[in-house]
Amino acid sequence: MKITVPLRILILLSLLTVGGPVGLAVAQGPNRNFRALERVALNELREANIPGAAIAVVSGDRIIYTKGLGISNIESGTPVAPEMLFRIGSITKMFTADLLITLAEENRIDLNTPVGDHVKDLSPRLSRVTFQQLLSGTAGLVDSATLYGPQEQSALARTVRSWNDEIFFLEPGKLYSYSNLGYIIAGFLSEEIGHRPYADLMRDRIFKPLAMNSTTFFPTMAMTYPLAQGHDSEGNTRPVLHRPFAESTASWPAGFMFSNVPDLARFAIAFMNEGKVDGRQLLSPKVIAAMSTAHAAIEGENPTGWPRQGKYSFGLICQNYRGESLLWHGGSIGGFGSLFVMAPGHRVAVIILSNKTGRWMYETAEKALELMLPLKPQINALASQSPLISESESRKFVGKYVRPDIEGPVTADIFFKDKKLWLRVFGFEAEMSRTGDHTFSVNPAGYRGPWNFTLLPGPDSDAEYLCLSLGVMKKVLDRK
């Protein structure tokens, strides 16, 4: 999920001594220097203060490399093993999307119809939203989810039916804006249409057929397998266990899956091989096509991820990275961070699960992709900046921007400082540089950057929406 730290406050880099590599590389391919990958991964663990991680690399129809690095529990010192379960956060969303799209392919629903045509007792505005808008992040919903809440499966339906029209802050279909609520609702709709609890449908329709034998939503089941513990830390402080363990069944469809790199690799193999694993047809090619198609432009990129013109599909981000087409998603939930990347054109996937809140191991993923793909050289993202805008034009952008949230609003301020435009957001201030007619970037010290964002004009040509970090903030009018 994206609800704890990763896209609001990035974790400062620091140092920690970690354990060495554990696990056995599987069918290592020729000319693949996976020792170089391990060096990058171990360095990233130290610099980012992450106790441990599990990594898998897929090529074609098999795992060619898997490794456990560091430790799974800072208190016990137990090494990470590749088969260990981690909470995978928002990578869960691709599985929720798979389930709902599968039901549509069975002619139980039409994704382009309002959800209220199939499920009753929803708020008026929610009843008019389409399934497609929920899955593509264009439903106009606020972003929130509960980390700690009810633990009975019936809580999902009860929670969704309790929401009123205040969960909306944009007109549906207007803009992409990341929302956990959209996928919580999608999971609820799946169980209503499938006539069974969400977790049971996921187990029987996806996990069992794909032989994802350790994957589960139930903590009492996860604890019977090797299980990594989640951690938190600030700066260079020693990580501590994330206690208590996050649990809320009402939020399961947005980011609460437990899985490991071998199980997730089986899903990647099926996805990249026309739905087949071990010669058996386990995923529908039509579902794969729907999840591989860009459905909404992402106007505000994820500042910690691969930049430039990403688009959202259903539970996956479509991205051109150094000349190659990627499908990917990151995940964060209390104590864990994860990254799932596929290059379907080459049938290559990289999966990295770590045990620190909000930490996505991009440097490690980039190294793995460099080993596996014919990537083009990196381009300096700041090389094509446009001239600075005038002070009079800058006034179109100055102001406060707000994104409502059930747990409290997310705000940003654009203001003048030293005759230049500055952005204050997520705990930092940085000078803005213009990169296009409506696009800008900031490069705050101590953070992975640059962060690129868009200021979209309203009817009077002044900026109305600030699109940053996969979300949208709306300008607050000065009523003085």
- CATH code of the domain covering residue 428: 2.40.128.50
Residue 263 lies in a domain: yes
Q: Give a yes or no: residue 385 inside a domain.
A: no
**Residue where one domain finishes, among candidates 329, 357, 379:** 379
**344 and 443 co-located in one domain:** no
Residue where a domain terminates, one of 353, 379, 405: 379
CA 11 to chain centre: 16
- Does residue 413 share a domain with residue 358? no
Domain termination residue (choose one: 346, 379, 412): 379
Same domain, yes or no: 358 and 301: yes
364 neighbors 122 (Cβ within 8 angstroms): no
Burial (0-12, 13-18, 19+ Cβ within 10 Å), 105: middle
Task: Verify that 402 and 451 share a domain, yes or no.
Answer: yes
Q: Is residue 67 part of a domain?
A: yes
Q: Are 344 and 318 in contact (CB under 8 A)?
A: no
What does the alpha-carbon distance between residue 323 and residue 320 come to, in Å, rounded to a whole number? Answer: 6
Give the amino acid at 37: L
In this structure, are 88 and 165 located in the same domain? yes
Same domain for 70 and 153, yes or no, is yes
Per the domain annotation, does 386 fall within a domain? Answer: no
Q: Are 404 and 463 in a shared domain?
A: yes
Q: Are residues 421 and 286 in the same domain?
A: no
Position 452 scores a pLDDT of: 87
Shared-domain flag, residues 444 and 368: no
Q: Which is nearest to 291 in space by CA: 303, 275, 307, 309? A: 275
- Measure the CA–CA gap between 263 and 163, rounded to whole angstroms: 34
Over its length of 480 residues, how does the chain's per-residue pLDDT go in tens digits? 543 333 333 332 222 233 333 433 444 444 578 999 999 999 999 999 999 999 999 999 999 999 999 999 999 999 999 999 999 999 999 999 999 999 999 999 999 999 999 999 999 999 999 999 999 999 999 998 889 999 999 999 999 999 999 999 999 999 999 999 999 999 999 999 999 999 999 999 999 999 999 999 999 999 999 999 999 998 789 999 999 999 999 999 999 999 999 999 999 999 999 999 999 999 999 999 999 999 999 998 765 555 456 899 999 999 999 999 999 999 999 999 999 999 999 999 999 999 999 889 999 999 999 999 999 997 654 444 555 667 778 889 999 999 988 777 889 999 988 888 999 998 899 999 998 888 999 988 777 668 889 999 998 889 999 999 889 999 997 644
CA–CA gap between residue 131 and residue 73 (Å, rounded): 40
Q: The dihedral of CA 216, 222, 228, 230: what is its sign?
A: positive
| Residue 137, in any domain of the structure | yes
Peptide bond into 450 cis (omega under 30): yes
Instruction: Give residue-wise pLDDT tens across range 99-110.
Output: 999 999 999 999
Q: Are residues 30 and 119 in the same domain?
A: yes
- 346 and 430 both lie in a single domain: no
- The strand pairing partners of 326, in sequence order, are 319
The tens digit of pLDDT for each residue in 90-139 reads: 999 999 999 999 999 999 999 999 999 999 999 999 999 999 999 999 99
* pLDDT at position 418: 85
What one-character DSSP code corresponds to residue 197?
-
Residue 31 domain boundaries: 1-379
CATH number of the domain that 110 lies in?
A: 3.40.710.10
Within a domain: 138:
yes
- Please check whether residue 480 lies inside any domain of the structure: no
Residue 216, Cβ density class (10 Å: 0-12 exposed, 13-18 middle, ≥19 buried): buried
Q: Which pLDDT does position 19 carry in this prediction?
A: 36
Count of C-beta atoms within a 10 Å radius of residue 128: 14
What integer pLDDT is reported at residue 21 of this predicted model?
A: 39
Place of tokens 């795992």: 63
Together in a domain, 247 and 106:
yes
In a domain, 14, yes or no: yes
Question: Domain tally for the chain?
Answer: 2
